[in-house]
Amino acid sequence: MIGPIRSLLFAPGTRPDRFGKAMNAGADAVAFDLEDSVEVGRKGEARALVADYLAMPGTGARRLIRFNPPGTPDGDADLEYFGAATGVDGLLLPKIETAAAVEQVARAFAKRSPSGTVPPLFLLLETPRAILKAAEIVVADAPVAALLFGAEDYTASLAIERTIDGEELSFARAQIVLAAALVGADAIDGVCIDLNDSDALRRDCVRARALGFRGKMAIHPRQLDVINESFTPTAAEVHRARQIIDTYEAARAGGQGVTTLDGRMVELPIVERARRLVALAGKHDGR
């Protein structure tokens, strides 16, 4: 089990000088990128550099590889090159639009891997087709760990401006969160491209967390503190959740299924939400 990821930082596959810095920047996971940040003519070089780095023991952040889109020549080359890779905690697959594409990667890895296992898959949904088919994609016969939202590609495909208020993203974000919940996967929100506005980043994080996202992708280490803080339950939230649980358990012991705390109703669904928050906080504390 790869565990919850609050922050996912990208490292260009052609910049080995940044690999170690990215791993020690404070992200929960680092995606070594073979796709967007790598020029077409340097894909092979990037594969070799990433493979050399992942062959060394790693500690701290989980190590992911972002392949090129499955079914493309570069995506197939990535799959062939890393088909039996070790030292990888997960695979990030971009431009996913069908369950069949996910299953193709899973079958290929299962066939090539000495143990027959498939690394946890992180599926990047970036197009209208992917958003509309999110629930179908996530039930693919493959170990889906998380669904990620490619907000920039999504808005580009609609020829609309992305705003910090995010109304244009509400439907897509909801689709991803609900689809992830179907299989107990995490939902990870898209990047914030403004590196100099920490307030805007925080607002974006707060909105995403309120919708059910568990983390956010980052394009620069300076974004990590805000992202990690935003997606970590606060001490006050955990304290309140424990109060809710204790109040409910006391009521149950007295034969009541519903009670109140500070004038607010407390019943089982509210208690379950509180228990999940406490459990999530415990997973983050255990890092």
pLDDT at 13: 97
Domain that holds residue 46: 7-230
pLDDT digits (tens, 9 = 90+) for 182-239: 999 999 999 999 999 999 999 999 999 999 999 999 999 999 999 999 999 999 999 9
Spatial neighbors of 48 by CB under 8 A, at least 6 apart, are: none
Is there a contact between 97 and 10 (Cβ–Cβ < 8 Å)? no
pLDDT band at 22 (very low <50, low <70, confident <90, very high): very high
- Reduced to 3 states (helix: H, G, I; strand: E, B; else coil), residue 59 is coil
Identify the burial level of 148 via C-beta atoms within 10 angstroms of its C-beta, where 0-12 means exposed, 13-18 middle and 19 or more buried. Answer: buried
Shared-domain flag, residues 190 and 215: yes
pLDDT at 83: 79
Shared-domain flag, residues 261 and 193: no
Residue 268 clears pLDDT 60, i.e. is over it: yes
Our CA angle for 219, 187, 13, nearest 5°, is 35
Shared-domain flag, residues 221 and 108: yes
Shared-domain flag, residues 89 and 147: yes
pLDDT at 1: 58
Mean pLDDT of 20-36: 96
Does 1 fall in a domain? no
Our CA angle for 281, 58, 2, nearest 5°, is 35
Does 281 fall in a domain? yes
pLDDT band at 115 (very low <50, low <70, confident <90, very high): confident
Shared-domain flag, residues 243 and 215: no
Shared-domain flag, residues 144 and 265: no
**Distances in Å between the alpha carbon of 175 and those of 72, 126, 157, 162, 235?**
26, 12, 17, 18, 30
Does 153 fall in a domain? yes
Residue 18, domain CATH = 3.20.20.60
pLDDT at 223: 97
Does 2 fall in a domain? no
Shared-domain flag, residues 107 and 138: yes
Shared-domain flag, residues 157 and 40: yes
* Final residue belonging to a domain, choices 214, 230, 246: 230
pLDDT at 61: 93
Is there a contact between 271 and 244 (Cβ–Cβ < 8 Å)? yes
pLDDT at 231: 97
Average pLDDT, the chain: 93
Cα(7)–Cα(209) distance, integer angstroms: 12
Total domains, the chain: 2
Whether the pTM exceeds 0.85: the reply is yes
Shared-domain flag, residues 212 and 280: no
Shared-domain flag, residues 278 and 222: no
pLDDT digits (tens, 9 = 90+) for 76-95: 999 999 976 667 899 999 99
Does 217 fall in a domain? yes
Shared-domain flag, residues 159 and 268: no
- Reduced to 3 states (helix: H, G, I; strand: E, B; else coil), residue 170 is helix
CA dihedral 233, 205, 171, 72 (to 10 degrees): -110
Does 140 fall in a domain? yes
Shared-domain flag, residues 83 and 144: yes
Taking residue 224's Cβ as centre, other Cβ atoms within 10 Å add up to 19
pLDDT digits (tens, 9 = 90+) for 124-160: 999 999 999 999 999 989 999 999 999 999 999 999 9
Please report how the helices 73-81 and 43-54 are oriented relative to each other, as an axis angle in degrees rounded to 10. 30
pLDDT band at 285 (very low <50, low <70, confident <90, very high): confident
Does 278 fall in a domain? yes
- Reduced to 3 states (helix: H, G, I; strand: E, B; else coil), residue 164 is coil
